[in-house]
Amino acid sequence: MFLLLDFIPFQPSPGLAIWGLVIFLLFWAIMAKVAFGPIANALQTRENDIQDALDSAKSAKEEMANLKADNEKLLAKAREERSEMLKEAKNAKNKMIADAKETAKEEASRIMVQANQDIENSKKAAMMEVKNEVGAIALSIAEKVIKKELAGNSEQESFVKSLVKDINLN
Partner 1 sequence: MSRNIYSALLIFTAILFSFPAISQGHNHDDHSGHDHDSHAGHDHGAHEGHDHAAHAGGDHDSHTPNCSGDHGDHKYDPAATAIHHISDANIWSIMEFPIPLPMILKSDAGIDMFMSSKFHVASMHHEDGHASYNGYVMHEGSAYRVNQAGFPMDGSVDHGPFTHGTEMVDGKERDVKFVCYNNTPYRIEQRTTLDGGVLGGGITNFWDFSPTKNVIAMFLSCLILFFLFRGAAKKYKTNPEKAPSGLQGMLETMVVFIRDEVAIPFIGKEKYMKFFPFLLSLFFFILGLNLFGQIPLLGSVNATGNLTITAVLAIIVLILVSVNGNLDYWKHIFWMPGVPTFVKPLLAVVEGMGIFIKPLTLMLRLAGNISAGHIAILSFIGLIFIFGDLFGGIGSGMGLAVATPLTLFMMAIEIIVAFVQAFVFTILTASYIGAATEEHHH
Q: Which residues bind partner 1 (CB under 8 A)?
A: 1, 3-21, 23-28, 30-32, 34-40, 42-46
What is the closest distance, in whole angstroms, from the C-beta atom of residue 22 to partner 1 in the complex?
9
Nearer to partner 1, 51 or 94 (CB): 51
Smallest distance from partner 1 to CB 65, Å: 29
Cα 140 from Cα 144, distance rounded (Å): 6
Rounded Cα gap, residues 137 and 160, in angstroms: 13
Q: In this structure, what are the phi and psi dihedrals at residue 2, rounded to the nearest 5 degrees?
A: -75, 125
Based on CB atoms, which residue is closest to partner 1, 40 or 98? 40
Q: How far, in Å, CA of 138 to CA of 132, rounded?
A: 10
To partner 1, the closest distance from the beta carbon of 55 in angstroms equals 18
Question: Rounded to the nearest whole angstrom, what is the least distance from the CB of residue 59 to partner 1 in the complex?
Answer: 21
Radius of gyration in angstroms for the set of CA atoms belonging to the chain, rounded to a whole number: 64
Q: How many Å apart are CA 62 and CA 1, to the nearest integer?
A: 76
Q: Rounded to the nearest whole angstrom, what is the least distance from the CB of residue 77 to partner 1 in the complex?
A: 44
Helix 153-166 crosses helix 37-149 at what angle (to 10 degrees)? 170
Dist CA 42 CA 35 (whole Å): 10
Q: Where are the alpha helices (DSSP H) in the chain?
A: 14-31, 37-149, 153-166
Q: Closer CB to partner 1, residue 25 or residue 92?
A: 25
Q: Is 8 or 150 the residue whose CB approaches partner 1 more closely?
A: 8
